[in-house]
Amino acid sequence: MPDSSPIEGRKLDHIRIVLNEDIAAKGITTGFAAYHLPHTALPELDLSEVDTTTTFLNKTVKAPLLISSMTGGAHETERINLALAEAAEYLGLAMGVGSQRAAVVDERLAYTYQVRRVAPHIPLLANLGAVQLNYGFGVEQCQRAVDMIEADALVLHLNPLQEAVQPEGDVNFKGLLARIEQICRALSVPVIAKEVGNGIGLHDARRLYDVGVRVIDVAGAGGTSWSEVERFRQKTPQAAGIAGAFAGWGIPTTEAIRQIRSAFADVTIIGSGGVRSGIDAAKALALGANMVGTARSVLGSAIHEQGSSAVIDVLQGFVTELRVAMFCSGCGDIEALQSVELLRM
């Protein structure tokens, strides 16, 4: 199928830029380097028995790891999502697809997101931009996104900065909270609120909780900056300069996790945003996350000719790092890791 819409072209732009340009946040960090897990010289554990399994969306996963939402909606993206899904199924992890707006508008693109045939057992997340609820989308379109991929939950991603600096951005976020509440009440699956790299702090978490959101993906600052991604798509130096000015904007990932967990015991927190290793993942879990999301670290592998095998290699290393970090911290399972007190350096 030829790529025919501006949305398809934008999705391919995003992949190209993420893989080939320096789109890391500038002047701000995730905060992971400021924390250390306490080393235990006598862990009284057998490494082979360290248990990373947990439950997410009422399904058992072999490690608390989510392949975060990345792509879909253009012909070339089908093989990326299939490679990611095959790896998630093989390793027993969770996965989210990229924004399904393109396929809700044009059903011919639905196949680029449909991965259940290779991943029948994983927790799978549908995805739409929350701002689209102010541009004609409602319960029907959200349910369509869920049904399209047989999803276990719907991510509504919040990306005001990206939209503000995107050449074709949708910037009317007014009254959005009430619309999110409507979706939470009517949808057949849970709603997950997710940022895209600038973080969700306590103020927003409280407002989202009040309208029915019980799963929050903090997607904090310090990893990929989507204002930096959009900087590479600008047509004028002035527009590029404006986008670049926000490369250090946001709430660091560790701070977002810490803030939300301090206030809510019953919110499922996905810690994402610059999680680059299993050690980062362990720190996120110790700070209060229930799951950890990573995206860019596997995107390059997903487009490799080896496909899912390359993704599996990357993620197996990630999970092994997590297990070793747990072992050396004296934590035999995820519950024990979530009880560890990190050292603040």
Spans of all domains in the chain: 6-344
Token pair, residue 77, equals 């993206």
Helix (H, G, I), strand (E, B) or coil at 308: helix
Lowest mean per-residue pLDDT among 2-6, 38-42, 265-269: 2-6
* pLDDT computed for residue 57 by the predictor: 98
Query: With bands split at pLDDT 50, 70 and 90, how would you rate the model's confidence at 189?
Result: very high
Cα 62–Cα 272–Cα 156 angle in degrees, nearest 5: 100
**CB distance 65 to 318 below 8 Å:** yes
Query: For residue 8, is pLDDT > 90?
Result: no
Query: With bands split at pLDDT 50, 70 and 90, how would you rate the model's confidence at 162?
Result: very high
Instruction: State mean pLDDT over 213-237.
Output: 97
Token pair, residue 262, equals 């301090």
Instruction: State mean pLDDT over 15-36.
Output: 96
Query: For residue 305, is pLDDT > 80?
Result: no
Residues 6-344, CATH architecture: Alpha-Beta Barrel (3.20)
- The H-or-E segment that residue 36 falls in is strand 35-36
* pLDDT computed for residue 265 by the predictor: 97
Query: With bands split at pLDDT 50, 70 and 90, how would you rate the model's confidence at 1?
Result: very low
Token pair, residue 275, equals 């999680």
Query: For residue 2, is pLDDT > 70?
Result: no
Query: For residue 242, is pLDDT > 70?
Result: yes
**How does pLDDT run across 49-70, given as a tens digit for each residue?**
999 999 999 999 999 999 999 9
- The H-or-E segment that residue 318 falls in is helix 308-328
Query: With bands split at pLDDT 50, 70 and 90, how would you rate the model's confidence at 3?
Result: very low
Lowest mean per-residue pLDDT among 6-15, 52-61, 250-259, 271-280: 6-15
**How does pLDDT run across 265-302, given as a tens digit for each residue?**
999 999 999 999 999 999 999 999 999 999 988 998 88
Instruction: State mean pLDDT over 102-107.
Output: 96
Token pair, residue 219, equals 């997607």
Query: With bands split at pLDDT 50, 70 and 90, how would you rate the model's confidence at 11?
Result: confident
**For the chain, percent of residues with pLDDT exceeding 90:** 92
* pLDDT computed for residue 307 by the predictor: 78
Query: For residue 163, is pLDDT > 60?
Result: yes
Cα–Cα distance for residue pair 58/287, rounded to 1 Å: 22
Query: For residue 6, is pLDDT > 80?
Result: no
Count of residues in the chain: 345
No. of helices (H) and no. of strands (E), the chain: 14, 12
* pLDDT computed for residue 323 by the predictor: 98
Token pair, residue 270, equals 């996905």
* pLDDT computed for residue 243 by the predictor: 97
Count of alpha carbons within 13 angstroms of residue 298, beta-carbon side:
36
Token pair, residue 62, equals 């072999």
**How does pLDDT run across 326-344, given as a tens digit for each residue?**
999 999 999 999 999 999 9
Residue 226's identity, in one-letter code, is: W
* pLDDT computed for residue 10 by the predictor: 86
* pTM attached to this predicted model: 0.96
* pLDDT computed for residue 303 by the predictor: 84
- Pairing state between β 65-67 and 59-61: unpaired
| DSSP labels, 68-99 | -----SSTTHHHHHHHHHHHHHHHT-EEE---
Instruction: State mean pLDDT over 317-330.
Output: 98
CA torsion, points 280, 281, 286, 292, in degrees to nearest 10?
Answer: 140
Cα–Cα distance for residue pair 226/234, rounded to 1 Å: 13
Query: For residue 4, is pLDDT > 60?
Result: no
